[in-house]
Amino acid sequence: MSEPDAPRPPLPPFDIETATRKVRMAEDAWNTRDPQRVSLAYTRDSEWRNRSEFLRGRREIVEFLIRKWNRELDYRLVKELWTCRENRIAVRFAYEWHDDAGQWFRSYGNENWEFDERGLMRRRIASINDLPIAAAARQFHWPQGPRPLDHPGLSDLGL
Reported as a single tens digit per residue, the pLDDT across 86-131 is 999 999 999 999 999 999 999 999 999 999 999 999 999 999 999 9
Q: What is the C-alpha to C-alpha distance for residues 86 and 89, in angstroms, rounded to an integer?
A: 8
Say if residue 157's pLDDT is above 80: yes
Q: Averaged over 57-85, what is the pLDDT? A: 98
Chain centroid to CA 132: 20
Residue burial 21-60, b: 16+ Cβ < 10 Å; e: rest: ebbbbbbebbbebebeebbbbbbeebbbebeeeebebbeb
Q: Averaged over 119-147, what is the pLDDT? A: 98
Q: What is the DSSP letter of 5?
A: T
Q: What is the pLDDT of residue 3?
A: 77
pLDDT band (50, 70, 90) for residue 4: confident
Say if residue 42's pLDDT is above 70: yes
CA angle 127, 133, 139 (to 5 degrees): 85
Say if residue 1's pLDDT is above 70: no
Q: What is the pLDDT of residue 2?
A: 66
Q: CA nearest 126: which of 74, 85, 68, 70? A: 68
Reported as a single tens digit per residue, the pLDDT across 7-32 is 999 999 999 999 999 999 999 999 99
- How many other CB atoms are found less than 10 A from the CB of residue 125? 14
CA distances from 69 to 13, 32, 84, 95, 139 (A): 32, 11, 28, 12, 19
Using an 8 Å Cβ cutoff, are 88 and 79 in contact? no
Chain centroid to CA 74: 15
pLDDT band (50, 70, 90) for residue 51: very high
Q: What is the C-alpha to C-alpha distance for residues 135 and 119, in angstroms, rounded to an integer?
A: 37
Fold of the CATH domain 16-137: Nuclear Transport Factor 2; Chain: A, (3.10.450)
Q: What is the pLDDT of residue 5?
A: 87
Average pLDDT value for the chain: 97
Reported as a single tens digit per residue, the pLDDT across 32-41 is 999 999 999 9
